[in-house]
Structure 1
């Protein structure tokens, strides 16, 4: 609500007579000028602050942000992004005095895209050389047979926890009235599931759920008793030339497991101290990490936490055993 200069001047006099007590001044002003509009205490506080800052009762002129997306503004926006790729549209708008809509338009015109961060495991000094060696080996295999990696069975284990995760940023609950939805994410009795899975060609293998902690002996029993059943449906042309990849986790590295792999996949398994070494801490080189587990967890955790039996069913439903 805008007041006249005369009204604002009267308000300042009343504020001064009330020793700058704006709550009292609002009551005194209403009694002294019953025929006028009556400001509340907050309006009088704003007037007092403006008068102390500027020495005038007049309203301050609002400085409008630049709306013209000329060449100079476009260059300034681009330079801000180049200097700090993590800067936000809001920060650019504030620093340069350009409307956020104009900043967004300029970013789009210059084909800048807000890429999301990817989380990776920390690499130690020797890891770089191992990754290079593996990639050079992979390139040689592709040079001899461009379909080589269609016959590599990539495998991995993943842990599913009871509470999973809830991304409140992307979670919505539509209703005509606020249902006050509450998501429980702390439990006294927690549990988790260790799940094995694999991908070869366009087939998803598994899942297989381990009972309890996975040790070398547990994993060896899995390879002997369960693994043949899981790959039974594969066409013979895949099984006859298939390689097996393991990421070198402690259960994969036990002497009995490596001996079993050497006997059943002679010269055709990839892993720690295998015929072909797998570079440690390299989830970006396997489709299990950058594709399968993310997809499965999105399906499994798309609903509220449930009993363990229900989560097992969801895991099996998300892992289509036929095609990826």
Structure 2
């Protein structure tokens, strides 16, 4: 039985064994280079497309225009997309998405302080101010609150711009809002 196992192992080694030519090439490579690692494939282009000279040429383009794309740069210069990515990464540039944010205007800090003072006063007068809705908040109560309190208050603040306002409930997509609430409000949904 033991001999059969050894014979099976030997057969497996013979089937997946290393050819003599592979051994000869490995020995020759070791004698020439002092290691047995495979030689890297030589391509027609220079071995390093991310050398310091290329970095010096590439980086000003991205510093001058932070919104320029790698694809556009690749089309204009003879360097691969991966190499551009490596140069940018080495220089601590990271991909990002442009995101429009609201610009702070001159009186915003004052309005923020005023809001905080108003809220502090309301909380001092009634600690339950933030939790003033008594009972359960169901769809009907929510719709009533929106229709009779919130939307009129927004309309009063917005004035003529109210018709151009968009509505999004707590970051929820429009299909999450119940149809009765949606029908009852005359605001555009995001």
TM-score, length basis structure 2: 0.41
More strand per residue: 1
Greater C-alpha radius of gyration: 2
More helix by share: 2
